[in-house]
Structure 1
Amino acid sequence: MAAGEWYACLDPELDALRAAARRAVHQHNTMAPDERGRMAPALQALFAAVAAEVVIEAPFHCSYGINISLGAGVYLNAGCTILDSAPVAIGEGSMLGPGVHIYCAEHHKDVALRRAGLETARPVMIGRDVWIGGGAILLAGVTIGDSAIVGAGAVVTRDVAPGATVVGNPARVLR
């Protein structure tokens, strides 16, 4: 999985990693806001990197957590989902609206191999000062450049240049 090659997502070792993530996510989503603060301790400990003043609103969901890196001042609004089968990096000052989904996994096109749980994963990289509108979906392997804007409900299937604004399904540059 980490090498970007085909892997079996039904592997017991991966099941254990997902179980640890579910426990951390549960803590984050069920703690009283005054106790949780900006982010539940178990979730912060799970992530690869968390800089200062990151805020993750509840509810939140991730697959593994161990592949997520968040820069200073990152804000994830309620309902964000990060399926981090590969690295996901969100740069300093970036904001994700409610219900933003990030998907790193891609399932096999061959039915028999898909039924066997074979998938591959590609990283998603989000630059600094990016704004991603509510309900947007970022697919595996995309990079969002610094200061870009992704409109609400957009489905991002390709890289977004720094400073660009994209909207729609599939997302296209707004002129």
Structure 2
Amino acid sequence: MPCKPINTQLYCASHDLNYLARRNWETSCAPINIEDNVWIGGNVVINQGVTIGARSVIAANSVVNSDVPPDSLYGGTPAKLIRKIHENGEDISR
């Protein structure tokens, strides 16, 4: 990664909502996969099991809970598709 995103948090582990499971420190883990040429804005949270597809952009202050396909602009809480992008930046969703 050529530069570090500002205040980006990657969570590859979580705990159950069930009290008994939490009391026993039971956790679930899944890797996070960030493919080539991805741009992640500041203050982004990426949760376990997510793949960020190649050449995608994650807007600042987003929470990513599910996979992001390649060539996509995602943003929001939770992050959703804003539009598909082309390598020169033009909108290809229409």
- Give me the TM-score of the superposition, normalised by structure 1: 0.46
Q: Please give the residue correspondences for 1:23-172 in structure 2 after superposition, counting only pairs within 5 Å.
A: 74-77=1-4, 97-172=5-80
- What secondary structure sits across from 1:146 in the alignment? coil
Q: Which runs of 4+ in 1 moved over 6 A?
A: none
C-alpha RMSD of the superposition: 1.0
- What secondary structure sits across from 2:20 in the alignment? helix
- What secondary structure sits across from 1:138 in the alignment? strand
Deviation at 1:76, TM superposition (A): 4.5
Counterpart in the other structure of 2:82: 174
Count of residue pairs the alignment pairs up: 83
- Code of the residue aligned with 2:66 in structure 1: it is R
User: Structure 1 regions of 5+ residues with no counterpart?
Assistant: 1-73, 78-96
- Code of the residue aligned with 2:29 in structure 1: it is A
- What secondary structure sits across from 1:75 in the alignment? coil
Q: Deviations over 1:131-160 (max 9, x none)?
A: 000000001100000000000010001100
**Structure whose alpha-carbon radius of gyration is higher:** 1
Q: Name the stretch that deviates more: 106-115 or 126-135.
A: 106-115
1 or 2 for the larger relative contact order (CA 8 Å, sep ≥6)?
2
Q: State the alpha-carbon separation in 1 of the partners of residues 54 and 71 from structure 2.
A: 6
Identity of matched residues, %:
34
Q: Deviations over 1:55-107 (max 9, x none)?
A: xxxxxxxxxxxxxxxxxxx1352xxxxxxxxxxxxxxxxxxx20000001120
